[in-house]
Amino acid sequence: MNSTAINSTAKPQRTLHVALDERSYPIHIESGLIGRANALTPYLAGRQVMVVTNETIAPLYLEKLCASLPGHLEVRSVVLPDGEQYKTIEQVSRIWDALLEAGFNRRCTLIALGGGVIGDMVGYAAASYQRGVAFIQVPTTLLSQVDSSVGGKTGVNHPLGKNMIGAFWQPKAVLVDIESLKTLPRRELSAGLAEVIKYGLIRDDVFLAWLEANMTALLNVEPEVVAEAIARSCQIKADIVAEDETEQGVRALLNLGHTFGHAIEAHQGYGNWLHGEAVGAGMALAATLSKRLGWINEAALARSLAIIKSAELPLAAPANMTSDDFLARMRLDKKNIGTKLRLVLLNGLGDACISDTTPVDVLRKLLDEYPRC
């Protein structure tokens, strides 16, 4: 377990690095980055820039971002519909269309201005356009600032499974403007906190205790506290990605709660449960299973459930999902090898592992008995 004490008087480190040899890149965390002149310039591959965002974010931040770019660049934009249900290959195709119509070449740069949905789609468009062009992440939700903008997982959903089509493609930089959280709806803030809590549960019990103490400040978006949580989360993710870029081993731990969560998202219809909400309930299920298997004690389970609840996330599973619904979706999970289900479970707080030994009858019993909302 990597636990480093958090000094509450220290300013969070504002620039982190994802160490991936020639594909290394910085994560800048600061207030006001979106409008800052030339903040993006060092990471552009050439003169052609395509900013991709959605209908909600465009009126808030598109003009500001474009105005921060030097005047000699050829800047275009694409505004996609908003929502997880639009994280599809059809919308990625709209980005490819715009690039081709503008005559953009291999030295163009795509900028993802938005949450995880935009970031994942723009990353995939960049990975595949002319066999790969540069892209920059400008994440505007808490979830995308602590998780999806870092690490190079890109792609779209398929009706049969979440994130089933995609590629690993690293950005040239991640620019986190904390100020953008001022316009984020509270429900989306809670969804982002699910991924923040995840880092504490899987890797860092000191961070988990800090989150317990600072949850009210986080929900109130107090800038210093939020910046600390983002920096701490990104550091844990950057360390894991540097160790295992393409998820051959330790990176799978970042999927705590996601096997259950992806099943919920797909079954409910993309966009009905937010990704972070599904991960919240999924982590509660994973912690409950870990307790049933005797891997964590009652106190650890109680703390896991309490912190998820304190972030205003659901603990219960959807009322309309049977055990069979769960199991059918979970069998499609990308982590599975052969016919065995692989689950991320807890050995303790701040200590997760990946296991393929859970007997199906134990899992089924848990799903049968687990509370529904």
Q: Which residues are catalytic?
A: 131, 153, 195, 237, 247, 251, 255, 258, 262, 275
Distance of CA 232 to the CA centre of its chain: 14
Token output for 82: 């908003």
Binding mask 182-221 for ligand NAD (x = CB under 6 A): -xx---x--x------------------------------
275 binds, among ligand NAD, ligand GLY, none (CB under 5 to 8 A by kind): ligand NAD
Q: Please tell me the distance from the alpha carbon of residue 129 to that of residue 349, in angstroms, as a whole number.
A: 42
As measured in angstroms, the least distance from the Cβ of 153 to ligand GLY is 5
Segment lying near ligand GLY (by CB under 6 A), choices 24-32, 145-153, 178-186, 265-273: 145-153
As measured in angstroms, the least distance from the Cβ of 103 to ligand NAD is 29
Token output for 126: 């960049």
Backbone angles phi, psi at 182, to 5 degrees: -60, -30
Decide: is 151 part of the binding site for ligand NAD (CB under 6 A): yes
Residues 69-98 touching ligand NAD, rule: CB under 6 A, are 82, 84, 87
As measured in angstroms, the least distance from the Cβ of 352 to ligand GLY is 13
Shorter beta-carbon distance to ligand GLY: residue 108 or 146 = 146
Decide: is 277 part of the binding site for ligand NAD (CB under 6 A): no
Binding mask 213-252 for ligand GLY (x = CB under 6 A): --------------------------------------x-
Nearest by Cα to 84 from 118, 36, 123, 55 = 118
Token output for 156: 């779209």
Segment lying near ligand NAD (by CB under 6 A), choices 20-28, 136-144, 312-320, 328-336: 136-144
As measured in angstroms, the least distance from the Cβ of 109 to ligand GLY is 22
Decide: is 153 part of the binding site for ligand GLY (CB under 6 A): yes
Shorter beta-carbon distance to ligand NAD: residue 60 or 98 = 60
Asked if residue 87 lies in contact with residue 54, where contact means CB atoms within 8 angstroms, the answer is no
318 binds, among ligand GLY, ligand NAD, none (CB under 5 to 8 A by kind): none
Distance of CA 89 to the CA centre of its chain: 19
350 binds, among ligand NAD, ligand GLY, none (CB under 5 to 8 A by kind): none
Tell me, by CB under 6 A, how many residues bind ligand NAD: 29
Shorter beta-carbon distance to ligand GLY: residue 172 or 258 = 258
183 binds, among ligand NAD, ligand GLY, none (CB under 5 to 8 A by kind): ligand NAD
Helix/strand/coil (H, E, C) string of the chain?
CCCCCCCCCCCCCCEEEECCHHHCEEEEEECCCCCCCCCCHHHCCCCEEEEEEECCCHHHHHHHHHHCCCCCCEEEEEEECCCHHHCCHHHHHHHHHHHHHCCCCCCCEEEEEECHHHHHHHHHHHHHHHHCCEEEEEECCHHHHHHHCCCCEEEEEECCEEEEEEEECCCCEEEEEHHHHHHCCHHHHHHHHHHHHHHHHHHCHHHHHHHHHHHHHHHCCCHHHHHHHHHHHHHHHHHHHHHCCCCCCHHHHHHCCHHHHHHHHHHHCCCCCCHHHHHHHHHHHHHHHHHHCCCCCHHHHHHHHHHHHHCCCCCCECCCCCHHHHHHHHCCCCCCECCECCEEEEEECCEEEEECCCCHHHHHHHHHHCCEC
280 binds, among ligand NAD, ligand GLY, none (CB under 5 to 8 A by kind): none
Decide: is 267 part of the binding site for ligand NAD (CB under 6 A): no
Decide: is 275 part of the binding site for ligand GLY (CB under 6 A): no
Binding mask 25-54 for ligand GLY (x = CB under 6 A): ------------------------------
Distance of CA 218 to the CA centre of its chain: 17
By CB under 6 A, name the binding residues for ligand NAD.
54, 56-57, 60, 82, 84, 87, 114-118, 120, 140-141, 143-144, 147-148, 151, 153, 163, 180, 183-184, 188, 191, 275-276
By CB under 6 A, name the binding residues for ligand GLY.
147, 151, 153, 251, 254-255
